[in-house]
Chain A
Amino acid sequence: MDLSVINPILLFAALMSAATPILFAATGELIVERAGVLNLGVEGMMIVGAICGFAIAVETGSPIVGFLAAAAGGALLSLLFAFLTQITLANQVASGLALTLFGLGLSALLGQGYVGIKPPRLPDVNFGFLADIPLIGPIVFSHDPILYVGLILVAAVWATLKFTRAGLILRAVGENHDAAHALGYKVVRIRTLAIMFGGACAGMGGAYISLIRVPQWTEGMTAGVGWIALALVVFASWKPWRVLLGAYLFGGITQLQLNLQGAGVAIPVEYLAMSPYLITIVVLVILSADKSAAPGSLGRTFHASS
């Protein structure tokens, strides 16, 4: 055992990248849930984003266009969910699960011609001398642009929810859709937009896996990240900055266990791997004391006449 081989700076830099897909997906889902909708289809939207982004990046040669396509693909798929739950008032849990099933199949069909291809690389942002600053350089100034987009997204979502009228309306719709409706807000329209935003974010998160972290396309490559994102939103008690913290914690535990293994520490991997979920449950219990944490209308169907 030799713990000195673990470089905490590199570990932190690595976990930032590892956490980015979850961060995107969870931030999107946070908005969806804040609007009072529970979309369990995150995994499906992520994998569709992963293949849309990959395919378009390969075809156009531009990873940035790929990311835009991933966002569009995720949003498009989420429209299906929006139609089911907002227009035809279907149950959200069942619709979300169906969306995941559909998305996994659809992505595999779309991706048939893309196995074994290398996508164009997205170079890291060049910060010049900043990247050479000890400690801060590798952690803050040595990443690809999308990672920074993710961080900006969290800040933007936080600011929007906290300071803007749009954020206020969104929260109102999520807290009590009947009251929001009575005040004249278009509940269905607002929720549909929120769902599409969630889909776009999930799609970006998926593309981050297929274009940057891995980078390749294979069927089922998101391997359950979407479900972790769902857990994360709860862990974060529907607060954007805590999503960031949680994403680093979830991503960090995987990084840490791999690092410890590399250093020769005998650790029970399975038990470490279940710890984020156990921690989430503990956080949930603590939060349940605070009744204001969860959006009041979460998961409930809204119909104007009811």
Chain B
Amino acid sequence: MKIKTLLASAAMALGLATSVYADGHEKTKVGFVYVGPVGDGGWTYEHNKGRLAVEEEFGDAVETVFVENVAEGPDSERVMTQMALDGADLIFTTSFGYMDPTINIAKKFPDVKFEHATGYKRADNVSTYSARFYEGRAIQGHIAGSMTKSNIIGYIGSFPIPEVIRGINSAYIHAKKVNPDVQFKIVWAYTWFDPAKEADAAKVLIEQGADVVLQHTDSTAPQAAAQEAGNVITFGQASDMGQYAPLPRVSSIIDDWAPYYIARTRAVMDGTWESKDTWDGIGAGMVGIGEISDAVPADIKEQALAMKTAIADGSYHPFTGPLKKQDGSDWLAEGEVADDGTLAGMNFYVEGLEGDIPQ
């Protein structure tokens, strides 16, 4: 107890304590609403890691709370309200389906800050944040295109939504750049998380000749399937999936919410929090690129790292013209860069991809 009091007064001395709050609590309270269980090893697991990072960063100056397995709809509204009533200063709602509930509850609690992941509706006390995963996809596409021998790259999609389609396009553009003969086979699993089905999808793609499998679903099942098949490379998704390195997993895209969660918590603590739309990528550290393993030849690894640096410092944008849409119509002229609006709502394939986006 003593240490706690000490730390609290120390925090006060540092001006971190938020005695401005009407109800007089001193700790900054941060709530997290999760759509899945923290044990899913993927999406929710990574958000929870971000929460733990916040706790570690601020120690006793913050208190974090979370509720897992919260259904989208009225249940999520209730959980948000409950957190707000219990004195939360900042609430992260970590699923697209919480969009309207977040806006509804934010109206009722103008003094509480809300952060909604992957949505597009904002308010004075609602920010949105999302990660430019397509930047990581570009690097994956480059490695995939360079390393495939069968020229067939398998892609496991979750749902045909802009987020996923962006990833497919980005990976394809960069695979095609280094390997004009490359062909993408896309399988929609219609689930974010169903290990058995993801494993099946990976096996099917491998049987149909793919020697690279990219996944936009969250379990490690495709990695295990690739390992068993042998001679197939994969990339970790959401978390590093490093237990499958160096083969089949040669690199990964990591959702790293920790820097953002820490920054936003700090902003609430020192009173500088403002509503904004954050769409960060490799540069800000929201998208992590997992270590490229030694299974990747040195020159390809070097190129991939160079691309990572260029994307991070802003000198290269993965969607840079000339690019055409699948139907052959022009999309981006030479040197032109895609605007965020188009990217956010992307519902078309780029030229060269086969098949239709399911409706």
Contacts from A to B (Cβ < 8 Å): 5-7, 10-11, 14, 18, 21, 108, 111-112, 115-118, 209, 213-216, 218-223, 225, 254-255, 258-259, 261-264, 266, 268-270, 273
Contact partner of A218 (CB less than 8 A), chosen from B39, B154, B354, is B39
Contacting residues, chain A, for B37 (C-beta < 8 A) = 108, 219-220
B196 touches A209 (CB 8 A): yes
CB proximity of A268 to chain B, nearest CB, Å: 8
A225 to B153, CA, bound (A): 29
Q: Which residue of A lies closest to B354 (CB)?
A: A264
Contacting residues, chain A, for B199 (C-beta < 8 A) = 213-214
Contact partner of A115 (CB less than 8 A), chosen from B45, B191, B193, B200, is B45
A262 to B184, CA, bound (A): 9
Contact partner of B197 (CB less than 8 A), chosen from A115, A223, A263, is A223
Cβ contacts B26-40/A at 8 Å (1 or 0 each): 000000000011011
CB proximity of B217 to chain A, nearest CB, Å: 12
Most buried by B among A11, A116, A223: A116
Given A116-B243, A214-B224, A218-B40: A223 in contact with B355 (beta carbons within 8 A)? no
Most buried by B among A5, A262, A264: A262
A215 to B222, CA, bound (A): 10
B195 touches A5 (CB 8 A): no
A214 touches B207 (CB 8 A): no
Cβ contacts B186-226/A at 8 Å (1 or 0 each): 11101101111101110111011100000000011100100
Contacting residues, chain B, for A118 (C-beta < 8 A) = 224, 243-244
What 4 A-B pairs come out closest when comparing CB atoms?
A: A219-B37, A214-B195, A258-B204, A5-B208
B40 touches A219 (CB 8 A): yes
Interface residue SS majority, chain B? mixed
Given A14-B204, A214-B224, A216-B221: A254 in contact with B197 (beta carbons within 8 A)? yes
- B340 contacts chain A at the CB level, 8 A cutoff: no
A32 to B236, CA, bound (A): 42
Contacting residues, chain B, for A111 (C-beta < 8 A) = 39
A223 touches B208 (CB 8 A): no
CB proximity of B238 to chain A, nearest CB, Å: 12
Contact partner of A259 (CB less than 8 A), chosen from B186, B196, B208, is B208
A261 touches B187 (CB 8 A): yes
Q: Which residue of A lies closest to B44 (CB)?
A: A219
B41 touches A218 (CB 8 A): yes
A215 touches B188 (CB 8 A): no
- B358 contacts chain A at the CB level, 8 A cutoff: yes
Contacting residues, chain A, for B220 (C-beta < 8 A) = 116, 214, 216
A189 to B183, CA, bound (A): 61
Contact partner of A223 (CB less than 8 A), chosen from B196, B201, B203, B209, is B196
Contacting residues, chain A, for B354 (C-beta < 8 A) = 264
- B339 contacts chain A at the CB level, 8 A cutoff: no
- B317 contacts chain A at the CB level, 8 A cutoff: no
A263 touches B208 (CB 8 A): yes
Contact partner of A11 (CB less than 8 A), chosen from B39, B207, B224, is B207
A270 to B160, CA, bound (A): 13
Given A221-B195, A264-B355, A266-B355: A14 in contact with B224 (beta carbons within 8 A)? no
B208 touches A270 (CB 8 A): no
A216 touches B195 (CB 8 A): yes
A7 to B204, CA, bound (A): 10
B204 touches A259 (CB 8 A): yes
Name the interface residues of B66-121: CB closer than 8 Å to any CB of A: none
- B356 contacts chain A at the CB level, 8 A cutoff: yes
Q: Which residue of A lies closest to B186 (CB)?
A: A261
Contacting residues, chain B, for A10 (C-beta < 8 A) = 207
CB proximity of A103 to chain B, nearest CB, Å: 15
Q: Which residue of B lies closest to A208 (CB)?
A: B196
Most buried by B among A6, A11, A221: A221
B201 touches A258 (CB 8 A): yes
A262 touches B185 (CB 8 A): yes
B188 touches A261 (CB 8 A): yes
A269 to B207, CA, bound (A): 20
Contacting residues, chain A, for B193 (C-beta < 8 A) = 218, 223
Of the A-B pairs whose beta carbons lie under 8 Å apart in the complex, a sample of 29, sorted by A's number, is A10-B207, A11-B207, A14-B200, A14-B203, A108-B37, A108-B39, A115-B45, A116-B243, A118-B224, A214-B199, A214-B220, A214-B221, A216-B195, A218-B40, A218-B42, A222-B196, A223-B191, A223-B196, A223-B197, A225-B196, A258-B201, A261-B187, A262-B154, A262-B187, A262-B205, A263-B208, A264-B185, A269-B190, A270-B190
